[in-house]
Amino acid sequence: MIMPRHAAFVATLVVVAALTACDSDDTATSDITLTRAQLLDPETCKACHPTHYREWASSMHAYASRDPVFIAMNKRGQRETDGELGDFCVDCHAPMAVREDATTDGLNLDDVPAHLQGVTCYFCHNTVGVGEHFNNDIELANDTVMRGGLANPPQTNAHGSEYSSFHDRNHRDSTQLCGGCHDIVTPAGVQLERTFAEYKASLFGTSESGFETCNGCHMDARSAGPDDPHREVTPTLHEHLWPGVDVALTDFPDRDVQRAAIECLLSLNTRISKIEHDGFGTFTVSIETDAGHSQPSGAAQDRRMWVELIAYAADGSVIFESGDIADGELEEKPADDPDYDRNLAMFRDRIYDAHGQPAHMFWQAARSEQHPDGFRSLLLPAITETTPAHALQATYRIADPERVARITARLRIRPMGMDVLQDLVASGDLDAALLAEVPTFTLHGASVEWRPDEPALRPLWPDDLQCPQAYQCLLNPEAPDCD
Amino acid sequence: MLGALLGVLQLAPLARANGRMPGATELSIARSDGQHLLARATFGLVQSFDGGDSWQWICEQAINVSGESDPPLALTEDGSLILLPTVGATLISRDEGCSWAGAPELADSKAIDLTVDPTDPKHVLVVTSTIDEIDETGLVSYINVIFETRDNAASWQVVATLASDFKIETLEVAPSEPRRIYVSGTASESPLIGVIERSDDAGANWQRTTLDLPPSSGSLFVSAVDPNDPDRLWVRVPAQGDRFGLFPASLLISSDAGESFEMLGGTAQGMLGFALSPDGTELAYGGPFDGLFVGPADGSGPIEKVSDLRVRCLRWNAEGLYACGLEPQDPFSVGVSIDHGASFRPVYKMADTCPQECADASSFAAACQQPWIGVGMRIASDGEGCAVPWANLTPDAGSEGDAGPEDAGAVDGGVTDAGATDAGAEHDAALDGAPTVPTEPRASDGCSCRAVGAGRDAGTPFGLSVLALVVGLVHLRRRRRKRFGAAAALFVVLMGCGDDAASTEPPANDDDAGAMFVACPDTIPRFESGLEALGERGHIQAVLLDASDFPARKYSNEWTLELTDESGDALDDVTVTKVETFMPVHGHYGRPPADFEALEAPEQLRAEIHFTMRGPWEVRIEASSPSAGDDLIVFDVCVYE
C-alpha cells in the first residue's frame, strides 16, 4: 500500500514524539505528554510497550479491517443490501475509523489512515462503559487517559493512567468489554454471533466456583523479560495475541506466531472423551470442549469443525473413513458428489432467510416460521451450571466391525468454510488465490486412537508440540524453555 | 489396626465419575403393581417396591451399563425387568435387578426400543435395528425386526420384519387399539428424513409416511399415542448427537396416523420429558433448562409453563404426573403432582438411596460394594440421608426395624423434618435465582437404611463415627489435612443423619461472589516441597520432593515424587500406571497424558504435569504395589497463571 505523503509525515512525527515520550528504562519519566491524536496511533504505543505492540500487531484485532474476507463480505453485503448494512460490519472491525468519521460503511478502507485500522490500542484502553452487550455499544472517554488492569498504575507524563475493571482480566466487567463486539445481532434481528451469550450461560460466566473471564484464557500471563520496561511495575504481563481461530490470509507480521498460538489454545481445550462400540457395528464418539463458549463460536455460520474418523484393519488398510478432508477441499459436498460423505459429523450454524430457505451470507439471515431464530445450531456446548455432561456424540456405522483393529479420531476446524469462500470468489469479491491460505487446524487434545482391546483411548498429541513454547519461542527465542 | 480402619474409610472418586450429575433420567411404573417404581439413574437403577417409601440401588457395574447412556427399560407383569443397553444385547432380570441375563432370541440383534402392551403387561414388544450391509457410499441397510414376548420375557417371537432402509428409533402401541403399532426412525442422512411406519394388524402389514427434518436434527421419536384415538400421536425431534439434551427440540402432533404433522411446541434446549394424561386430554413436556409445560393435548389451548423444574423425565398415570428433577437444584429426583405440575410431592430423593437387597449377595456385592463406597454413599450423604458403610446396612422399607424419622432421632438426637427439608431445597433454588418448585412434605424422609442382622440401635453408625474421628485426628497430627477432612466429613455424615449441623450445602450465593476471579478456595493446601497426599484407599502415599514451579503454573510442570506406604516407608515395588490432571469445578481432564518415569530409586517418580487453565486442579496418580495394594493418590493443586 502506498501511504499518502501527508500521512507518512504525520506518522513520522508520531513515532518521534513517542520515542521522546518514553524512556525505556523507566516509563514514569516521560518528558512529553502525548495528545489524544497521538494516542490514537498504535505506533505511539509501540515505543514504550514494544512487546504488547508486537503481539497486538500480529493479532486479529490489528488485522480486523485488513482481512480480505471481511472486505469481500462487507463489499458484497453493501451491494446486495443497497447500502443498508451501513457501518454494521466496520463498527467492530475498525471502530475508531467509524468514531473518527473516517468511514461510514467500510468501503473506503484503503483511504482510511493506518492508525484507525483494526481494533486499536486506544479503542480498548479508553473504554469507560459498555451499554448493550452486542454490536459495539462501547463507550469511550475520548480523553488522554489509558485504562488498564493494574490496581495502582505508575503515573507517567505520557498519558493519564487509571485502573479499570473493564481491563482487569480477573474482573467480571472485563468480559463485557470483549462481549461488546463478540455478540452480533443483525439488522434483521438474528442473533448471529453469540460468543458472549454462550459465555454468560456457561459455568465460566456464573458466580459459582468455576468463574473465569474471557482473558483468563485468551490473554495468557507471561513473565516480563529481564529487559522489559514493565518489569519494575509488575512481573507478570498478559499477552495481546487473543488467539481464537481466525488467521491472517495475507502478509502480516508474525503470522506464524498467531497460528501457533491458535493451535495451542484449540488443542488444549477440546477432547474426545470416549469412543464406544455397541457390539453391532455402531461406534459412538463423544466430543466435548472445555472452552467457556461453544465451539466453534463467533461467526459459526461460516466456521467448519468436524470429526475425522478412520478405521483400520489389522494389516493397516483403511476400512472406513469420514471427515478426511484435504486442505482447500470443500467440507460438505452435495449428495450427488462421488465424494459425498454421508457420515460427516459437522459442527456449525446454518442460517436461513425470511422464507426459511438456507442462506449463505449473514445479511440474508432472517427469522421465519420454519426457523424462528433464523439459524439452527449444532456446536459443542460449553459446560453449564447444571450439566457437567456436555458432550455431543457422533455416530458411525462400520461394516464387519470385527475387522477393526484400531480407529483414529481427530477434531479439525477451519475458520471459514470453503463453500462461503468460493461463493465470495464467484461473486468477484475475493481473490481465489487466498483460498489456499486458509488453514485447517487439528485439535490435538481431541485426537485419539481407539483399540478394541484397550479400555483407554490413546492420545495422539504430537511429540514436538510444546505449549506455550510453540508460539512464545517464536516471539522470543531467548526465553527460558526455548532451547 | 489403622489399616483396617482406613479400609473402612476408603473414599473413592466422586459420583461424577461417569461425567454426569447423579440423578434419575427415566421412570417406569409397573402396570400390574403401582407400588413398584423403577427409576433409571445416571449411577444405575433404583427401585421402590412400596410406592416410593424406600429405594434400592443397583449399581451400573452390576448390569454392565454406563451411566453415560440412558438405556430403555420396562417392567413386566411379574416384575421382570427388561433393559436395552447401549452396548450389547437385551438383558433380562427376574430377581428385581440383582442378576441379569441375555435373551437368547435377541442375542444377535441391536435392540433399540420397547413398549409394554397397555392392555396386557406381560406382553412386551422390542424393536431391533441391526446393521445388515453398508454399501460403498456408506449407505446402511438394517435388519429391522419387532420381537414380542407374551410371557413376561420368558420367550420371544418375531412379530414383524420391516423395511431395511431406515434406522429405527422408537416403537409405540395404541392403547385403544393394540393392533395399531407405530415405529419411527430416520432414513438418509442429508437431508434427514423422518420415517413413520404404521401397522393396523399387529405387524402383518405396514404403511409408511415421511417427514422432512431440518439439518442438525437427530431423529424422530414417537412419544405417545392417544388413549382413545389410535390416529393421534405426538412425536419429538431432538438435535443430532444430543444425548444430554443441550439443543432445541420440537414437539409435533399428528391427527391422521402420521400422514401429516403440526408443530405443537418446543424447548430451547433438550425436551427430555413428555407425558400424556391417562384420559389423553392433557400433555406435559419439558427439559432440564426449559422447565415444565402443561396444556391441552390437542393444542386447542395454550400450553403453559407451570414450573421451573429441571425436567429429565415425565410419566402420567392415575396417581398423578411423575417427573424426574435434578437435585440439589430441585427438591427431588422423582416427584409426583396431582395438580397438573403446579406442585410436587417428593417420591425419590437421592438421600433415600440404599443398596439393593439381593439374595445372591456375593455377586451383587462384588459389583456394587466399591461403587457404593465411591458413589452411593456420596449420593446418599449429599442430602440428609444416612450413608453408612456397606457392611453395616441393608435397605429398610419402613416396616420391621423401622428406620424412619424416629430412628434418625435415636441416632443423633435430631429428626429431619420433611417440611423443613423441602423448605431448605426451595431456599436453595431461590438463592440460585430460579423460581421454586412447590413441594409437599413426605411421610418418610429421613434415614432409610438399617444395620444388617442387628437391632436398629446396634446398627447405628456411632461406633464407626468415633473411629472415623479418631482416624481424622491421627491424620491431623500427621498433617494430612485432606484425609482428616474426609474422615471428619464422614464422621459428621455418620453422626448427623438428618441433622442440620451436618449440612454440606454450599454457602449462600452472594451477588458479588464471582465478580472477581479467585484462583482457588482456601482449602487447597499450600504447594510446597514436602506436600503429602494419601491414597484414596490409604495404601500408598505420595510426597512432593520437588517441582519446577512454586506455585504450580499453567502449562507444563515437572514434579519429583516419592511413594511410600501408609506409614511413610519407601515402597520399592510400586508401579505408577497413570498420572492425569482433572479440574473438578469444570469437570474436565487436562492435556493427556502426563508423562512420567521412574527414577533410579524405584519409589521415586518424575512426572511432567500439564494444566490447561488456571484454577483448582487435581493431580491423580494411579499406583500399584504388591506389598501395599492399589491406590489412587490425589493432590489438590492451585494453578495461578
| Beta carbons of B548 and B561 less than 8 angstroms apart | no
Are B514 and A371 a contacting pair at CB < 8 A? no
Q: List the single range of A26-40, A294-308, B400-414 with lowest mean pLDDT.
A: B400-414
Q: Which long-range contacts (CB under 8 A, 24 or more apart) does A31-37 make?
A: A31/A157, A32/A157, A32/A158, A33/A144, A33/A157, A33/A158, A33/A159, A34/A144, A34/A158, A34/A159, A35/A144, A36/A142, A36/A143, A36/A144
Q: Kindly state whether A223 is in contact with chain B, defined as any CB-CB distance less than 8 angstroms.
A: no
Distances (CA, A) of A351 to A298, A382, B208: 13, 21, 31
pLDDT digits (tens, 9 = 90+) for A423-462: 999 999 999 999 999 999 999 999 999 999 998 899 999 9
The minimal CB distance from B244 to the residues A290, A370, A391 is found for: A391
Position A236 confidence tier, pLDDT thresholds 50, 70, 90: confident
Q: How far is residue A16's CA from residue B115's CA, in Å, rounded to a whole number? A: 81
Inter-chain touch A268–B588, beta carbons under 8 Å: no
CA of B88 to nearest chain A CA: how many angstroms apart?
Answer: 6
| A387 has pLDDT over 60 | no
Distance CA B540, CA B623 (A): 8
pLDDT value for B389: 52
Look at B612 and A269 and tell me if their CB atoms are within 8 Å: yes
Percent of chain A exceeding pLDDT 90 equals 77
B87 → chain A, closest CA residue: A278
> A28-32, B29-33, B288-292: which has the minimum mean pLDDT?
A28-32
Residues A177 and A129: their CA atoms lie apart, in Å, by: 8
pLDDT at A206 > cutoff 70: yes
Most confident segment among A223-227, A284-288, B32-36: A284-288
User: A286, A392, A444: best mutation site toward chain B, by most B Cβ within 10 Å?
Assistant: A392
Flag if A345 and B241 touch (Cβ within 8 Å).
Answer: yes
Of residues B470 and A291, which shows the higher confidence score?
A: A291
pLDDT band for position A369 (50/70/90)?
Answer: confident
Q: Which of A166-175, B95-104, B366-375 has the lowest mean pLDDT?
A: B366-375
Cα-to-chain-centroid distance, residue B218: 23
pLDDT at B418 over 50: no
Question: A35: which 3 cell numbers?
Answer: 495528545
pLDDT of residue B413: 24
CB contact under 8 A, B131 and A209: no
Contact A211 B517 (CB under 8 A): yes
The pLDDT of residue A92: 98
Closest residue in B to A283 (Cα–Cα): B87
Candidate ranges A13-17, B154-158, B362-366, B630-634; pick with highest mean pLDDT: B154-158
Q: Is the pLDDT of residue B397 over 90?
A: no
d(CA B106, CA B252): 32
- Band of pLDDT at residue B629, cut at 50, 70 and 90: confident
Residue A380 has a pLDDT of: 94
Q: What is the pLDDT of residues A152-200, one digit of tens each?
A: 888 889 999 999 999 999 999 999 999 999 999 999 999 999 999 999 9
Share the mean pLDDT of chain B.
Answer: 76
ipTM of the shown complex = 0.88
Residue B481: what pLDDT?
Answer: 33
Interface with A, mutate which of B64, B143, B246 (most A CBs under 10 A): B246
**A387, B329: Cβ pair inside 8 Å?**
no
How far is B524 from A10, CA to CA, in rounded Å? 55
Within 8 A of A306 by CB-CB distance, chain B residues are none
Banded pLDDT at B381 (limits 50, 70, 90):
low
* Chain A residue at shortest CA distance from B20: A389
Select the more confidently predicted residue: A407 or B416: A407
State mean pLDDT over A237-261: 96
Q: What's the start-to-end Cα distance of chain A, in Å?
A: 38
Q: In what order do the strands lie in the sheet with B313-317?
A: B313-317, B320-324, B334-337, B345-348
Q: Shortest CB distance from B239 goes to which of A276, A378, A459?
A: A378
Sheet holding B73-75, edge to edge: B73-75, B81-83, B91-93, B101-102
Query: How many CB atoms are closer than 10 A to CB A317?
Result: 10
**CA A204 to CA B586: how far, in whole Å?**
8
Give the phi and the psi of residue A84 in degrees, each rounded to 5: -70, -20
Q: Does A210 touch chain B (CB under 8 A)?
A: yes
Please, what's the b/e burial string for A196-218 (b: 16 or more CB within 10 A of its CB; e: otherwise)?
Answer: bbbbbbbbbbbbebbbbbbbbbb
d(CA A257, CA A144): 31
Strand partners, B636: B618
Reported as a pLDDT band with limits 50, 70 and 90, residue A101 is: very high
- Residue of A144, A175, A152 whose CA lies nearest to A234: A152
**CA distance to B352, B353, B381, B424, B474, per residue, from B493 (Å):** 14, 15, 7, 18, 19
Stronger pLDDT, A154 or A86, i.e. the higher one = A86
**Residue B269, pLDDT score:** 86
Question: What is the Cα–Cα distance from A250 to A422, expressed in whole angstroms?
Answer: 17
pLDDT of residue A391: 85
Confidence band for B511, pLDDT divided at 50, 70 and 90: very low
Task: Identify the pLDDT of residue B359.
Answer: 78
Mean pLDDT score, A224-251: 84
- Mean pLDDT calculated for residue range A296-317: 97
Q: Is A390 on the interface with B (CB under 8 A)?
A: yes
- pLDDT at res. A447: 97
Q: How far apart are CA A185 and CA A77, in angstroms?
A: 15
Would you state the pLDDT for residue A230?
67
Q: What pLDDT shows up at residue A151?
A: 86
pLDDT given for residue B437 in this prediction: 60
**Predicted confidence band at B410 (pLDDT cuts at 50, 70, 90)?**
very low
Give Cβ neighbours of residue B217 (< 8 Å, ≥ 6 apart): B192, B194, B237, B238, B239, B240
Residue B103 or B399, more confident:
B103
> Taking CB atoms and an 8 Å cutoff, what residues of chain B touch A261?
none
Chain A, 96 to 155: residues with Cβ < 8 Å from chain B are none
The Cα of B174 is separated from the nearest Cα of chain A by a number of Å equal to: 30
- Give, as one character, the DSSP assignment of residue A237: E
pLDDT band, residue A87 (cuts 50/70/90): very high
The CA-CA-CA angle for residues B356, B357, B360, to 5°, reads 110
Closest to B361 in 3D by CA, of B626, B95, B588 = B95
Question: What pLDDT was estimated at residue B334?
Answer: 94
pLDDT band of residue B506 (cuts 50, 70, 90) is very low
Residues A388, B89: C-beta atoms closer than 8 Å: no
Helices (H) and strands (E) in chain A, counts: 15, 19
What is residue A445's predicted lDDT score, i.e. its pLDDT? 93
What does the pLDDT look like over B1-53, one tens digit per residue? 333 322 222 222 333 334 566 677 889 888 888 889 999 888 888 999 998 98
Q: How far apart are CA B566 and CA B539, in angstroms?
A: 6
Measured between beta carbons, the chain A residues lying within 8 angstroms of B244 are 387, 389-391
User: Strand order of the sheet with strand B262-267?
Assistant: B221-225, B233-237, B249-254, B262-267
> Quick one: average pLDDT of B89-116?
93
Tell me: the pLDDT tens digits for B310-343? 999 999 999 999 999 988 889 999 999 999 999 9
Helix (H) or strand (E) holding B591: none
What proportion of chain B, given as a percentage, has pLDDT over 90?
45
List pLDDT tens digits, range A103-153: 999 999 999 999 999 999 999 999 999 999 999 999 999 999 999 998 888
pLDDT of residue B479: 33
With both helix axes pointing from N to C terminus, report the angle between A418-426 and A68-80 in degrees, rounded to the nearest 10: 60
Q: Which amino acid is at A105?
A: D
Which chain B residues touch A288 with a CB distance below 8 Å? 588
C-alpha A323: how far from chain center: 23
Contacts of B592 in chain A (CB under 8 A): 271, 445, 459, 461
B165 has a pLDDT exceeding 70:
yes
Q: Answer whether B592 sits within 8 Å of A383, measured CB to CB.
A: no
What residues in B contact A467, CB-CB < 8 Å? 555
Can you tell me the mean pLDDT for A351-369? Answer: 95
Per-residue pLDDT tens over the stretch A288-300: 999 999 999 999 9
Give the mutation candidate from B612, B620, B636 for the A interface (greatest A CB count, under 10 A). Answer: B612
For residue B189, the distance in angstroms to the closest alpha carbon of chain A comes to 6
Q: Is the pLDDT of residue A362 over 50?
A: yes
Looking at beta carbons, which residues of chain A come within 8 Å of B214?
Answer: 370-371, 376
A399 has a chain B CB within 8 A of its CB: yes
- Give the single-character DSSP code of B68: T
A243 inside 8 A of chain B by CB: no
Among A459-468, B39-48, B507-516, which stretch is predicted with the lowest mean pLDDT?
Answer: B507-516
Phi and psi at A469, nearest 5°, equal: -60, -30
Q: Give contacts of A 19-38 with B, CB under 8 A.
A: none
The pLDDT, as a whole number, for residue A366 is: 98
CB-nearest partner of A213 from B137, B510, B517 = B517
Instruction: Check if A216 contacts B (Cβ < 8 Å).
Output: yes
B21–A389 CB contact, under 8 Å: yes
Is the per-residue pLDDT at B408 higher than 90? Answer: no
Contacts of B514 in chain A (CB under 8 A): 172, 206-208, 211
Question: pLDDT by residue (tens digit) across A191-200?
Answer: 999 999 999 9
Closest partner CB to B585 (pick from A210, A217, A387)? A210
Chain B residues in contact with A371 (beta carbon < 8 A)? 214
